[in-house]
Amino acid sequence: MLCSPPKISRIETATRPASLRDVRDFCNIYGVDDAERSHLMDLARGAKEQGWWHKFDDLAIESLIGLEVEAKKITSYESSVIPWAFQTEDYARAVIKGFLPDIEDRILNERVTARMTRQDLLRSTVAPQLWSLIDEAALRRAVGGNRVMREQMAKIIEVADSSKVTMQIVPFEAGAHPAVDNTFTLLEFSNAVLSPVVFVENLAGTFYLEREAEIQRYREVLDYLKASALSPASSIRSVEEAKRRFESV
């Protein structure tokens, strides 16, 4: 490669991108076939093109959004609030403000705009399959007031109507389960170069898990939740019932 070992290390750990020349030379050294070489060169070119999310100053999840754009399938469990894919603008604003009471108005507005833009992925021609498991607690927690919640329930029903979306409610009757105090997302890709990734977010920060044992553990938890959750049709009825509750108070 005629370069220093630290440069190779930075490429391997993704702290710097690989140039087209780097990719070409690596392919020559490793004996990569023409089809794979072409694919890797396309990836290197695409890496230079910044996604829409890079124009925002303070999202904190740029890597996650980039993975969502590449994902073939996204499976998630949300234990406390309605997931981003289903949120209305007013609900998103109230949730972000609730998480970060001292957030600046400018940053709050940016995060709400980004969250709404993020939902465009689900309406695109290359939309991933989304399987969303939502704890019943999210349907009952009154975020932003009754009007906001009524509109939020209607938005869930609208989004869940897509053939690309499966939505299940994990009811209180499911009791304690392996993910009762967790929120996480499993992202899977059609590209063989990209391994599955689990994204976990909490007060300590954001984590990306890629080890095979970790992925398998989260797959098992998701299978358990799917079996414990209401069916998609029953889940819609549960959301409709929640909407009526917010209409009657």
The predicted structure's pLDDT at residue 4: 85
Any idea which of 32-41, 119-128, 226-235 has the lowest mean pLDDT?
32-41
Q: What are phi and psi for residue 130, nearest 5 degrees?
A: -110, 125
Task: Quick: pLDDT tens for 178-208.
Answer: 999 889 999 999 877 788 999 998 877 789 9
Residue 66 and residue 161 in one domain: yes
Task: Quick: pLDDT tens for 81-118.
Answer: 999 999 999 999 999 999 999 999 999 999 999 999 99
Domain that holds residue 119: 52-247
The predicted structure's pLDDT at residue 35: 86
Task: Quick: pLDDT tens for 9-64.
Answer: 888 877 777 888 888 899 999 999 988 888 888 777 766 666 665 666 666 777 88
Written as one letter, the residue type at 52 is: W
Residue 211 and residue 90 in one domain: yes
Residue 32 and residue 66 in one domain: no
Residue 31 and residue 97 in one domain: no
Residue 21 and residue 39 in one domain: yes
Looking at residue 243, which CATH number applies to its domain?
A: 3.30.870
Residue 73 and residue 127 in one domain: yes
Any idea which of 58-72, 97-111, 126-140, 222-236 has the lowest mean pLDDT?
58-72
Task: List, in order, residues 6 or more apart from 182 with CB less than 8 Å away.
Answer: 77, 79, 200
Residue 22 and residue 80 in one domain: no
Residue 69 has pLDDT above 70, yes or no: yes
Q: How confident is the model at residue 249 (pLDDT cuts 50, 70, 90)?
A: low
Residue 105 and residue 169 in one domain: yes
Residue 246 has pLDDT above 90, yes or no: yes
Residue 170 exposed, middle or buried by CB count within 10 Å (0-12, 13-18, 19+): buried
Residue 119 and residue 36 in one domain: no
Residue 9 and residue 89 in one domain: no
Task: List, in order, residues 6 or more apart from 225 with CB less than 8 Å away.
Answer: 77, 133, 168, 170, 177, 178, 179
Q: What is the pTM for the complete model shown?
A: 0.79
Q: What percent of the chain has pLDDT over 70?
A: 93
Residue 150 and residue 240 in one domain: yes
Residue 149 and residue 229 in one domain: yes
Q: How many domains does the chain have?
A: 2
